[in-house]
Structure 1
Amino acid sequence: YSPLLGRLLHDRTADKIAAVVSQVPNSAATIIPFDVPSRVQVLHARQAARVAADGDGAERAGSVRTKEKSATTAAAGVRQDGNGAQPPAPPAGVTPIGALTAPGKAIVEGRVRSVEIRPVEQNCVFECTVADATGELTAMFYGRTHIPGVEPGARLRLQGKVSVREDGPVMINPAYQLVARESAD
C-alpha cells in the first residue's frame, strides 16, 4: 500500500475497537481482512469495459477476446460433454476453476451449487460452492449470514486470492459480482 493508505489501514484502530467491543457482555468482535488492491482492480476493469464498449475499438477487442477464450480453454484442459462438444469458453480474463492448482490471485465465474452458513467460534461463515464446467471452488465470507442474490442457481464472478486445499480451491472474502443470465449464456 502507499504510505498514506498503509497508515490509514494499519493504524491498529480495528484492534482498539475490538478490545472495547469484547468487554461488552455477550458480544464478539471479528477483524476481517479486506483486499483493497483486488477491489481497485475490479473498478479499473469495469471502467475499461465501459470505455471499450463506447469506443470504436469494440470490434477489435471482440476478435481478440475470442482468441483469448479458446487459448484459455485449451490451456485449462476443459472437460468435454458426452457428445464431444466443449462447454462455452469463459469470458476474457476469467480463469477456469479446474486450472486453479496453485495459490495466487484469480478471477473465476460459475454457477452457485450450494450455500451453507456455518458457525466458527463465536461468529459465522457464509460459504458457497461455485462450479463451472471444469471444477468447483468454495467461497467463504466471514461474518456474513446472507448475501442478497447469492443463492443456488445464480451466476457469480469472484475475484481474490485463491488457496488450494485437499478438497479443492478456496477463496476467502473475495470481491463478488452477480452475472446477468443474458451475459452468461
Structure 2
Amino acid sequence: MGGTEAGTFRRMLRRLTSDVEQLDADDLSAGAAREGAQPAAACASGQEVTVFGRLRTVEFCSPDAHASLEAELFDGTDGVTLIWMGRRRIPGIEPGRTVRARGRLAVRDGRKVIYNPYYEICQASEA
C-alpha cells in the first residue's frame, strides 16, 4: 500500500471505530477551521474572537433577573456561551443551528462567554 492509500485506509478505519460524539466534534472543528474561526479551546479572556459552531442549548434567563438570552455554542474543541442582554428571543437562535459569532471573550463562573456578540446564522437546523 502506498502512502496515500495507507492514509485513506487509516482515516476510514478511524471513522468506523470512533464514537459518534468524537466524529461530530471532529467535523465541527474542521468546519470552524474552514470558516477561518479560532478554536474555542485556544481563545483567552480579553481577546476579540470569531467562533463558529453549533448551538447546543438556548435558554431565557429568569424574569426576576435582567432579561437575557443565553446560547451555548460548541465548535468541537470547547464551548462558548453567547449572551444577549435585554433580549427574550432572537429569531433563528435555537438548538441545532450553526452560527458564526464575533466579540470580546470573557470568563464568567469558569465559562467562556461573549456578551452581545455579532452573529450570523449559517444554516438551518436539521430535523
Q: Please report the TM-score for the alignment, with normalisation by the length of structure 2.
A: 0.69
Per the alignment, residue 73 of structure 1 pairs with none
Q: C-alpha displacement at 1:121, in angstroms?
A: 5.8
Q: C-alpha displacement at 1:124, in angstroms?
A: 0.4
Per the alignment, residue 154 of structure 1 pairs with 97
Return the match for 2:26 from 83, 87, 108.
87
1-structure distance, mates of 2:42, 2:108: 14
Residue 173 in 1 paired to residue 112 in 2?
no
1-structure distance, mates of 2:84, 2:46: 18
Q: C-alpha displacement at 1:120, in angstroms?
A: 6.9
Q: C-alpha displacement at 1:103, in angstroms?
A: 1.8
Q: Give the residue type in structure 2 aligned to 1:101.
A: A
Q: C-alpha displacement at 1:130, in angstroms?
A: 0.6
RMSD: 2.6
Per the alignment, residue 44 of structure 2 pairs with 101
2-structure distance, mates of 1:178, 1:140: 15
Structure 2 stretches of 5 or more lacking a match?
1-14
Contact preservation (8 Å) 2:35, 2:52? no
Aligned length: 102
Higher helix share: 1
- CA offset digits 1:131-179 (Å, max 9, x no partner): 1110101010011011111100000110011112343210000100001
Equivalent position SS for 2:61? strand
2-structure distance, mates of 1:165, 1:134: 19
Per the alignment, residue 71 of structure 2 pairs with 128
Q: 1:114 to 1:137 in 2, by over 3 A?
A: same
Higher strand share: 2
- Identity over aligned pairs, percent: 30
Contact preservation (8 Å) 2:44, 2:105? no
- CA offset digits 1:35-83 (Å, max 9, x no partner): xxxxxxxxxxxxxxxxxxxxxxxxxxxxxxxxxxxxxxxxxxxxxx874
Q: 1:175 to 1:151 in 2, by over 3 A?
A: same
Equivalent position SS for 1:151? coil
Q: C-alpha displacement at 1:98, in angstroms?
A: 1.0
Q: Please report the TM-score for the alignment, with normalisation by the length of structure 1.
A: 0.49
Higher relative contact order (CA 8 A, sep 6+): 2
Per the alignment, residue 84 of structure 2 pairs with 141
1-structure distance, mates of 2:65, 2:56: 27
Q: 1:156 to 1:92 in 2, by over 3 A?
A: closer
